[in-house]
Structure 1
Amino acid sequence: MKYIVDTLELGNFYTESGELIENLKLRYEHVGYQGQPLVLVCHALTGNHLTYGTDDEPGWWREIIDGGYLPIHDYQFLTFNVIGSPFGSSSPLNDPKFPQRLTLRDIVRAIESGVKALGFERIAILIGGSLGGMQVQELLYNRQFQVEKAVILAATDKTSSYSRAFNDIARQTIHIGGKEGLSIARQLGFLTYRSSKSYEARFTPEQVVSYQHHQGDKFKESFDVACYKRLLDVLDSHNLDRDRTDVAEVLAQLDTKVLTLGFTDDLIYPDDQVRAMGSRFQYHRHFFVPDNVGHDGFLLNFNDWAPNLYHFLKKSKVRR
């Protein structure tokens, strides 16, 4: 089995705003067996390219793969660290001239450049949750690759006003408090990623304060302030229909078979909005995940929803 973690250098790259990234860098993980169908995985806001990882440090979706839902012997997996993120791709952390404004379409065009640079033209499975699911939508609309099946988890076709409100509060806390503000922003984010039911089930009122502080303190040491602000801009920029008039027509004509998954008590990307986004595709199935975790369900409790992923990938015919 091949396991590669490396960085592509792809030359000059201009963002939507016209700003230049000199010698675009894309950090990536590529794991699996050469010649097997390609799975392109798109990671979430504070995630990274280590989907599979190593035995000593398993990746964030290792359980999905080794659990047999996407068997390592049946596929090869490719994940890029999105630009703007602090884990190796071009970002404010390693490029002092990094653009001040970054959009979702910028990070998707960068990923498309990386896929082409590695010589792939066909994607068997395109999959992502939250910010990753937004990337999947843009990749499908752009039609740069032949995509057989796509899976979109906990993502809608535009960022909601509710989500943008939380993002703006996060910016304000960072502006006021710098690194300590980043800790508070992370604590605020956790309240939107998890449901009130999951908090009640897991914590006493005394325990929850300690848990929130722990999450904030851990995050402020592992993530970069400037990177987080750029990625909040990326989230806010997401609107599949922005400055486009043909989205409905394009999505309705795609041959790609699409599965969407919505999660109970997802505050920022509710199930009904996830389903509505998926219904724009010609071949679409939707699954509602009845757990009480909330938005972060796509990163947890795999046995509650991954069997539906497995069966969808095994189906040769998909109807509405």
Structure 2
Amino acid sequence: MLHVFLVTFPFFALIAAGYAAARRRVLPLDAIPGLNIFVLYFALPCMLYRFGAGTPIGQLLDGSVALIWGLAALLLVGAVVMLTRNERIGWNDASFGALVAAFPNTGFMGVPLLATIVGAQAAGPVIITITFDMVITSSLCIALSRLDGADEHGASKAMRQALRGVFVNPMPWAILLGALASALQFRLPGPIDRTVAMLADAASPAALFTIGAVLARSALMASGKRRAGTLRDVLPVVAVKLVVHPLLVLALGWLAIALGLPLSPTALVVLVLVAALPSASNVSMLAERFGADNGRIARIILWTTVAAFFSFPLAVGWMR
């Protein structure tokens, strides 16, 4: 277990460094969007492209992995919306609470972390989970959020906005191009390949530092706007994200294997560890854009990130 902590500590230390830098204003809050742009539009797409191009196309089209992850995400979204929606929490807040419970921080944190722990075999399942969450889970929750007092076209309009966001997000395109390169056995010319490799190598530290900065900015901005949510509005979602989500994925994986679906043990380990990651930091930006209680969402993301420092190594040790 100590070995696992030694592996995961630098990742969480970089997040803590970014949080402290933004919280103490050593890193100006106005500079955080620039960090986000570098990670989202340059470093992470290069890393995802290299992962996709270096992964056999069969692993990128693993139907069993997609089925298990997708079913777990849909069950989780439905359960969280049903259990949290009440007189204080409408469709909007309940839907983004469900999204923050079902959408792990795979792109910014999971890709570099799981590549270090599991190795190259993690690439296929990780890419599948990122694609599903960005296209299906996010779009579904955004559409559900519009049911709260929306007109008859609210949900469909939100779905179109969500899909438009997917199309302008460079990460799905990087995954698609990487998969195409894998299928065609295509390699970039030497100088271009080295440039892509340099940007990909920068993705891990930059993304982790940016997570901390984004969490600090979200907490600072949300504190002055809306209530940050009571403990009973926050802690159950934190528990769902870090405990229920990985256990649900594990149970569905065992069920799939028992039914004879072709799911490798390594793929199941990767899926469970992805589910054990803290909530995705970009959900806070989505919640702010669609008028949800961003204070509550920011607290859930922050608490899952802090708690995952202890819970994620336990999950790694248990699955190994």
Place the TM-score, normalised by the shorter chain, in its bin.
under 0.3
More strand by share: 1
Higher relative contact order (CA 8 A, sep 6+): 2
More helix by share: 2
- The TM-score, its normalising length taken from structure 2, stands at 0.24
- The TM-score, its normalising length taken from structure 1, stands at 0.24
